[in-house]
Structure 1
Amino acid sequence: MPVELSDEARRLIALFETEADVTVRDCLIDDDNDRVIYVVKAGEMADAIGPGGVVVDRIESKLDRAVKLIEDADTAANFVANTLAPAAVYNVTISENDDTIAYVEVAQEDRGVAIGADGKNIDAARRLAKRHFDVDGIELT
């Protein structure tokens, strides 16, 4: 399923790929415009972060925004788990009835991390899961 990108998202991807020398699969700009989320090709996360987080720090300074990195995955379940990191995800079950819903078992102490302030993390996870795997919703269990 191809992802449609805005001109700004394309510009942000080009910047990150140039700085980190990695492949970025997607870029999501939070609604309040204070965070950019990059989906990085599987296996390239270490290079995207850089030693001691130097690449992410450099990008955050250039953009004057927070940056979150998510590693791409080849299955919907693994992708959903990656979108909720650093929360401890024990299991993801994809239910395909009328809608496709990902039921995510998260450590109780990490529910707040998975949801994020004002629901930012779970909302971003839902948007990305819809864009990449046509998952209609994510529910924490």
Structure 2
Amino acid sequence: MSVKLTTNEIRYISLFETITSATVKDCIIDDEHNKVTFLVKKGDMGLAIGKRGSTIGKMQKSVDRSVEIIEHSDDPGEFIRNLLSAATINSIEFSTDAKGNKIATLDVDSKTKRAAIGKNGQNIQRARQFAKRQFEISDIIIK
């Protein structure tokens, strides 16, 4: 599946790759929360963060936004765990509904469920966007 990026997303990716030398697979700009989330190639997290967070700090100053970095994985289960790393995910089940849509159902520890959902649902919403764009997973359900 190919991801269609906006002009702004392409600009941010170019700047991020120039500053960090990490390879970006996808990017989501959240204007409402003044945040940019980058999906970097597996193994590039260290490059993206830099020593003591120096590289990510440069990026945040350059774009004047909060910057979040998530590591990509070719395994959908590991990918979802990376997306919601603040939560303790006990298990992930993949299924298909009657319309043929892929759905991921997560069993999340009750103590970290709030972290998975995020303030006003922003974490789970971002996770759904990336899962849809990268693996054609239509929905992520937390139980």
Fold agreement, TM-score > 0.5: yes
Aligned residue number for residue 36 of structure 2: 36
**Amino acid of the structure 2 residue aligned with 1:120:** Q
Task: Name stretches of at least 5 consecutive residues in structure 1 with no aligned partner.
Answer: none
Aligned residue number for residue 110 of structure 1: 112
Aligned residue number for residue 88 of structure 2: 88
Question: 2: CA distance between counterparts of 1:46 and 1:75?
Answer: 20
Aligned residue number for residue 135 of structure 1: 137
Aligned residues: 141
Question: 1: CA distance between counterparts of 2:17 and 2:86?
Answer: 23
Deviates more, 1:130-139 or 1:27-36: 27-36
Question: 2: CA distance between counterparts of 1:90 and 1:51?
Answer: 31
TM-score (norm 1): 0.94
Aligned residue number for residue 72 of structure 1: 72
Residue 101 (structure 1) aligned with residue 103 (structure 2): yes
The equivalent position to 2:124 in structure 1, one of 117, 122, 125, is 122
Contact 1:78 1:92 in 2 (8 A): no
Residue 12 (structure 1) aligned with residue 18 (structure 2): no
Contact 1:37 1:69 in 2 (8 A): yes
Question: 2: CA distance between counterparts of 1:78 and 1:135?
Answer: 14
Question: 1: CA distance between counterparts of 2:90 and 2:71?
Answer: 17
State the 1:31 CA deviation: 4.5
Q: 1:31 to 1:102 in 2, by over 3 A?
A: farther
SS, match of residue 136 in structure 1: strand
Q: CA RMSD in A?
A: 1.2
Question: 2: CA distance between counterparts of 1:53 and 1:27?
Answer: 19
State the 1:33 CA deviation: 5.4
TM-score (norm 2): 0.93
Task: Name stretches of at least 5 consecutive residues in structure 2 with no aligned partner.
Answer: none
